[in-house]
Amino acid sequence: MRDKMLAQPDPASAVVIIYDRVNTEEQPDRYVLTLQDAIQTIRSNKYLIMPQVPNSSDKTDPFLITKMIVINEAILARWPRHTFGQATRDRFIKALSNPHTRADGIHRNAAGERIEAAYIKQWLNGKHWL
């Protein structure tokens, strides 16, 4: 993640949106450390860390769901000004839990992208970053 972020231009005035997902074999503490390293490459203080969102198929994997919950809680605890609050996060995840928001069970379709865009826009407007 850090290397990808270093490869992108990042002016000090940029708004950066980090929308990444834990890999199945990755542990929550390692993921958060990787995220921390990536955040340290951002020159702007205007960044949003998106929450972990389960795929349609993840609902049957309690281990992966637990990892996502742990990561989401760690993000909120470490970077509370740079992520959705708990209530917004929970609504966001619920809105994307409908299978009609996915093209293939994993990737968002137009309906899912509209939901994401609306939440991101609302959050950025609340920060007066748009």
Note the pLDDT tens digit of each residue in 60-92: 678 888 999 999 999 999 999 999 999 999 999
In the chain the domains, ranked by start, together with CATH numbers, are 2-127 (3.40.50.1110)
Burial 88-118 (b: 16+ CB within 10 A, else e): ebeebbebbeeeebbeeeeebeeebeebbee
- Pairwise CA distance, residues 39 & 104, whole Å: 30
**pTM summary value:** 0.88
- pLDDT (0 to 100) of residue 4: 67
